[in-house]
Amino acid sequence: MAQIAMSEILAKAAKIKNRNERIEFLRKNYSKTFHEVLAYGYDPRVKWKIPDGNPPYNPSSDVSDYAKAMLYSEARKFYLFVERPGYPEPSRMKREELFIGLLERIYPEDAKLVLLLKDKKLPKGITRKLIEDAFGEYK
C-alpha cells in the first residue's frame, strides 16, 4: 500500500464536507506521530525558536512513497526547534541549519505543512477542535 503524507491526509480531510466523515477519515489515518506533529501547530505550550516567515530552502523533488513517509521519522527531531528549558540546545545558527535540512529532506507538501505549524497555523479546513474531536486532546 502506498504511503500517504501527512499533508495529503489533511488536504483530503479538508475536502470532506460532512464533519463526521472527516473525523472518521482522520481516525483511519491516525498515528501518535501525526497527532504530535499537529499539536506543534496549535498547542500553546509549544514555543518555536525558529524565526517567523519561511527560511530559504530548496524543496525536495522527491515525491516517492519514501519521501511521503519521511516526516513521520523526522518529527522526532522537532524538539531541536522549540523551547525546552533545562535542556541543552543547539546555537541559533545550528538550529536554523538543522531546520532547513529537515525541510529539504521531507516531501515538499509536508515541508509547507511544517512551515505552517511553525507559525502556529493549521492548514485551511483543519482546526484544533476537529483534531481533538478525531484524536482527543494532545497530552
Residues 6 or more apart in contact with residue 105 via CB below 8 angstroms: 60, 70, 74
Q: Give, in degrees to the nearest 5, the angle at Cα 12 between 103 and 24.
A: 115
Q: What is the pLDDT of residues 57-114, one digit of tens each?
A: 999 999 999 999 999 999 999 999 999 888 888 899 999 999 999 999 999 999 999 9
Residue 12 grid cell: 483530503
104: helix, coil or strand? helix
Alpha-carbon span 34 to 123, nearest angstrom: 14
In the predicted structure, residue 128 carries a pLDDT above the cut 90: yes
Q: How far apart are CA 134 and CA 31, in angstroms?
A: 11
